[in-house]
Amino acid sequence: MKQVISTERIPIKLWLDEVEEGALAQARNLANLPFAFKHVALMPDAHVGYGMPIGGVLATKAVVVPNAVGVDIGCGMCAVKTSLQTLRPETIKKIMSGIRELVPLGFDHQKTRQDETLMPSTENLVEHGVVERQFIAALKQIGTLGGGNHFIEIQKGSDGHIWIMIHSGSRNIGYRVAAHYNKLAKKLNAMWHTSVDDKHDLAFLPIETQEAKNYMNEMQYCVDFAFANRKLMMDNIVSVFVQETGKDFKELDFVNIAHNYARWENHFDTNVIVHRKGATSARDGEIGIIPGSQGTKSYIVKGKGNPMGFMSCSHGAGRKMGRKQAIRELDLAAETANLDNQGIIHAIRNKRDLEEAPGAYKDIDMVMENQTDLVETVVELSPLAVIKG
């Protein structure tokens, strides 16, 4: 931990030396919520989000805050260690072409509905709820990457193996669930005349209400859908590797972890709802993933179970520039030269792509240094090729 702010109702504990004013103002809003528990934790990749900082951890007593999870419910990472130890550039390019044929990117969906057995169970979900209404559409979204900062990356590990990594979320179904319940929470909070300022975008649902129970169930479905989405993509990507390398990948080390969700946990001998928005669970011995940008290392990590961070860690490097700012201020030639000089087959082709350039992100080495009390590094992963959404 780098610093503690003690001027609000509960402390704010930070794992970074400097935090942008907007993110700090949002953290202060969290710390002054009447149901916020113990302290607010800001991970070393923290930056301003919508209502709550991305890279923030909020524990609450008997209340769930949909906006403290965010719109891409279940967004997270998965990674596979292959038996390969080398890949030639020409083989990588063939693999990337094969991936693009099997995995729809950006706003693209599957051309046909996928098998319903790939979808999570809908048991215990509210009848006629958001998931039920979006289920058919989601059958064309499963196995697709999405846009923004989502990516597929081929990497070389410090363990000598080739790794495959995916960053993706719950697509439109997660957005629909998030938007529905945040709107509902805002409406109910206004009816209840709560003390939570509507302008802070932190409307809540008391956990004993049916609305909260429905949200928790539909949110968990989206977490499970996001995992199923990554799993199908990974299966398809591995099939391309098999085709292009002639290797059989029957047994693979598979790591999956989400970084946008809320769940019941016990901290400081109290059952609370922990909201992680752009933060990763890091319980003692738990294996996780912390990606860098497309020009820097990513990390397979092991949690240390630090109670001060609610047993959490960063979900990545974290942005230091907004998307429009990156497009406006970064130099296209310099960013592409940086990647080309490292021999990385990258996804920056034009000015608009600069929103996901390495220069738009914080220094991942500093981010990792700032959380040595939260996680330890197991494997360092260097990028070989990147496909962006």
Active site residues: 315
- What's the CA gap between 237 and 95, in Å, rounded? 8
Point out which residues pair with 376 in neighbouring strands.
302
Rg (C-alpha) for the chain, rounded Å, is 20
Is residue 314 within 8 Å of residue 303, measured between CB atoms?
no
Q: Where are the beta strands (DSSP E) in the chain?
A: 3-5, 12-14, 40-47, 54-60, 63-64, 76-81, 151-157, 162-168, 205-206, 253-258, 260-267, 270-277, 279-281, 287-290, 298-303, 312-314, 375-388
Q: What three-state secondary structure class fits 132?
A: helix
- What's the CA gap between 131 and 175, in Å, rounded? 11
Is residue 56 within 8 Å of residue 279, measured between CB atoms?
yes
Q: What three-state secondary structure class fits 81?
A: strand
- What's the CA gap between 30 and 268, in Å, rounded? 19
Is residue 155 within 8 Å of residue 85, measured between CB atoms?
no
- What's the CA gap between 207 and 54, in Å, rounded? 23
Residue type, 177: V
Q: How many CB atoms lie within 10 A of CB 208?
A: 9
- Which two three-digit tokens encode residue 325? 């700012």
- What's the CA gap between 66 and 57, in Å, rounded? 13
Q: Report CA torsion sign: 211, 213, 214, 216.
A: positive
